[in-house]
Structure 1
Amino acid sequence: MRGLLAGLVLALAADAAAQAQGYARDGRTCDGYPRAPIETMKGMCAGLVLAPPPAGLPPSRRTIHLPRTLLPLAGGDWLVVDLGTWDPGRGSVWRLTPKPSGQPALRRILSKLDLPHTLAVGPDGKIYLSEMSRISRFDADAADPQATLTPVVTGLPDNRLHENRHPLSAFIYDADGALLVNVGAPSDQCPPRPGEARCAEAERHAALWRFAPDGPGKWATEPTVFARGLRNSLALVRTRAGAVLQAENSIDVSDPAWPPEELNVIEAGAHYGWPYCMGAGQPAPAWKARKVSCAPFRRPARLMPAHGAPLDLVEYRGAMFPELTGRLLVSLHGYRPTGSRILAYALDEAGRPTAAAPIDLTPGWRAVKGRRPSGAPVGLSVAADGAIWVADDRNGAILRLARDRK
């Protein structure tokens, strides 16, 4: 593992040199915004809503440091979750007013957050935010939004980076209003200890927790484990047809082609294999000697590119791209060649992935010196006009994928 981490550090260091250049501009626009030099599917272009700092300036000069997720508001403003750094207490939420002709107006409305990630509108129409160990509600339109920040779910694992591996929380709402919350694995493969036949971490962690509804804006204080064997479930969605889908960030190994990431259809009570089995029922290296059977575990609905690092799922229902209607958009954040892109998978009438090949929305988003850095898409959101907004955290950018009207 030490060699793998060293390779990751070197790869990220090499990529950092490309990131410093930012996105080049040539005076062209994409539906009114400065055009980013990203190769997209036919009929689409990428516009810069929030650009990284000019070449030569360090990331510390950014206003928004690590944009992770986006939420549109009525009237055209957006909320942006800024992770800040990977240290607790450095996260923020910003209110962004787009300006196609220049940098957007920004106002920080929440600060001193502990590794914030997901923003969503709840069944009651109010806005909810996940942090490392809690989910809170707040009023973005209040004179002082910080004063309205009220925890509604507490006691999520305090998975601090370097002490544990997956500190971020994500959540969605089930059909009955229950909260389904990601609880990441505290390790990569949970290597077995002498005398242990199973991984104790996998009993409650590496799972989705369910907090039952307990009245408007309220949930049970004690969760149940909804599904197990899910190493890291930051990418979650409940489709219009009612299927709960999860995109799995699989284990870290040096093999560039294995294991594949997974697209799972989540069923209550099912176990999806971590840490014992990966992909299409293949034993994980740390557990191969224990001869654990993969038969009891639920298989993925689709296999996705190895080490792509899927971080968000959105079902597209906008008007701008009819060819994407009903497809599942997946952001691949990974630094390896399989990452730095957005894929669109077909769904069937039940909201489950089909076997059809995905559409690559951004086939040219790897670093090109003098033109662009490697993309690092995280949060995806569909605007009222059908444009697809993307948070590019490593580059401190927000992009808008729109119909190319040139």
Structure 2
Amino acid sequence: MKRTLALLALTLAPALAQSCLGFRGLEVATPSGFCAGVVRSGLNFPRGVLPLANGDVLVVEMGGWGPDRGAVTLLARARGYAPQRLLTKLDRPNGIALGPDGKVYVGEVGRIFRFSLGKPAKEYVITNLPGNGRHPLTQMVFDTNRRLLVNVGSASDNCQEDKGKAACREARTNGLVRRYTFDWDSGKVNGWGVMATGLRNSMALAVHPSGTVLQGENSRDAIGAADPRLDDEEHPKDELNVLEAGADYGWPYCYENARNAPEFPRYPCADTRKPAVLLPAHAAPLGMTYWSEGPQPYRGWLVVGYHGYRKYGHRLVAFPVDSRGIPNGDPVDLIKDWVLPGGKLGAPVDVKAAPGGRLYVTDDRNGMLIVFGRR
């Protein structure tokens, strides 16, 4: 397996600015026979993406970090993917998902609404999310039992206000994943609870057909300021975690493989759940998906976008997985050397698989929707 992955990695070569899947090619390095193209540029800080069965694509434009500037935008294939804003004046929208009821669910700060494609009017179904502090954005995914899993990001970096204390007060309400159940006859939420804790910011969530839920952890910043012996460029590693009900994954007390954070040296980190995979430090996974209909050799693999601006970021990677969807080998770069004219780095956010074996990727800092696939 490792020899095969090494050979795949060696096939990466810079792509020329030629047509890719009917779009202008993006000048990046991709595996031989694959390419990336620019479906649409000029989008306003695009975050979530949702490919539709008819070939159209929905994009969540966050509009920046100010409130009430966001939109849900339709890029219709029949209109040459020209933007059509269906809903506007949204408060920092981020996540988007297709519900079991056929409606589209969108996460704003502190709340989630849904709408029908034929009649785009907001219906709020969740309004009690904290939406506070450092990580207010809402990400979500439906599991195989039709429950909605929702990120509640931490309000601080690493709960510095409670440094040295036995417990972080913020961790009671933030840094966790909630799980909502619905009465699908009425379409209303009939209850929720905390699924898992110790998760600083779960901006990447993916569900495997087997039922496995995978989370991409955006780990803390500035660990070197808390302990000068630690290299902030290399620590802490970001993580991929297999989420299980009731499990504690360590934030803010622990990082990497159950190592104590400098602020909480006496916490029993051995009792917390270790990550399935350690990612590079500050890779910043903001989106991922299982490429179930992808072409060989990547069919069924987990695809993750590294949003980070440091040396390990600005790339799209794929992990081979086992029958449960858990990574079991070294990753392969699908897109690397992602540097635009003027030195601007690629910044992948959401990643979603589309019918026909394509991937759609948003790039917020450069205002683009990217398509990736076999030529």
Q: Does TM, scored on the shorter chain, surpass 0.5?
A: yes
Q: Which residue of 2 aligns with 1:129?
A: 106
Q: Does 1:92 align with 2:71?
A: yes
Q: Which residue of 1 aligns with 2:83?
A: 106
Residues 99 and 213 of structure 1: is their aligned pair in 2 closer, same or farther, counting only changes over 3 Å?
closer
Q: Which residue of 1 aligns with 2:138?
A: 169
Q: Which residue of 2 aligns with 1:219?
A: 189
**SS of 1:349 mapped into structure 2:** coil
Q: Which residue of 2 aligns with 1:68?
A: 47
1:195-253 Cα offsets, whole Å, 9 max, x none, are 83110111221001111223332212x53111000000010111011101101000002
Shift of 1:97: 2.1
Residue among 349, 364, 367 paired with 1:393? 364
CA distance in 2, matches of 1:242, 1:194: 37
CA distance in 2, matches of 1:338, 1:27: 24
Q: Which residue of 1 aligns with 2:272?
A: 297
Shift of 1:42: 2.0
Structure with a larger share of its residues in strand: 2
Q: Does 1:266 align with 2:253?
A: no
Residues 49 and 350 in structure 2, CA contact (< 8 A), matched pair in contact too: yes
Q: State the identity as a percent.
A: 43
Letter of the aligned partner of 1:299 in structure 2? K
Count of aligned pairs between the two proteins: 352
Letter of the aligned partner of 1:307 in structure 2? H
Q: Which residue of 1 aligns with 2:4?
A: none
1:6-63 Cα offsets, whole Å, 9 max, x none, are xxxxxxxxxxxxxxxxxxx976211221111111122211111113xxxxxxxxxx4x
Residues 367 and 374 in structure 1, CA contact (< 8 A), matched pair in contact too: yes
Q: Does 1:49 align with 2:39?
A: yes
Shift of 1:297: 0.4
Shift of 1:106: 1.4
Q: Does 1:250 align with 2:250?
A: no
Q: Which residue of 2 aligns with 1:349?
A: 323
1:141-199 Cα offsets, whole Å, 9 max, x none, are 22xx2xx210111111132xxxx100101111223222111000110110254883110
Residues 41 and 363 in structure 1, CA contact (< 8 A), matched pair in contact too: no
Shift of 1:367: 4.9
CA distance in 1, matches of 2:25, 2:340: 16
Letter of the aligned partner of 1:373 in structure 2? K
Residues 191 and 287 in structure 1, CA contact (< 8 A), matched pair in contact too: no
Letter of the aligned partner of 1:361 in structure 2? L
Greater Cα offset, 294-303 or 174-183: 174-183
**Stretches (4+) displaced over 6 A:** none
Letter of the aligned partner of 1:90 in structure 2? R
Residues 154 and 305 of structure 1: is their aligned pair in 2 closer, same or farther, counting only changes over 3 Å?
same
Q: Which residue of 2 aligns with 1:365?
A: 338
1:327-365 Cα offsets, whole Å, 9 max, x none, are 1000110010110001111111122221x1111111211
Residue among 10, 14, 18 paired with 1:28? 18
Q: Which residue of 1 aligns with 2:354?
A: 383
Residues 331 and 379 in structure 1, CA contact (< 8 A), matched pair in contact too: yes
Residues 197 and 395 of structure 1: is their aligned pair in 2 closer, same or farther, counting only changes over 3 Å?
same
Residues 66 and 394 in structure 1, CA contact (< 8 A), matched pair in contact too: yes
CA distance in 2, matches of 1:311, 1:200: 26
1:102-130 Cα offsets, whole Å, 9 max, x none, are x7311110001111111111111211111
Shift of 1:366: 3.5
Q: What runs of 5+ residues in structure 2 fail to find an aligned partner?
A: 1-14, 225-231
CA RMSD of aligned residues (A): 1.9
CA distance in 1, matches of 2:164, 2:267: 14
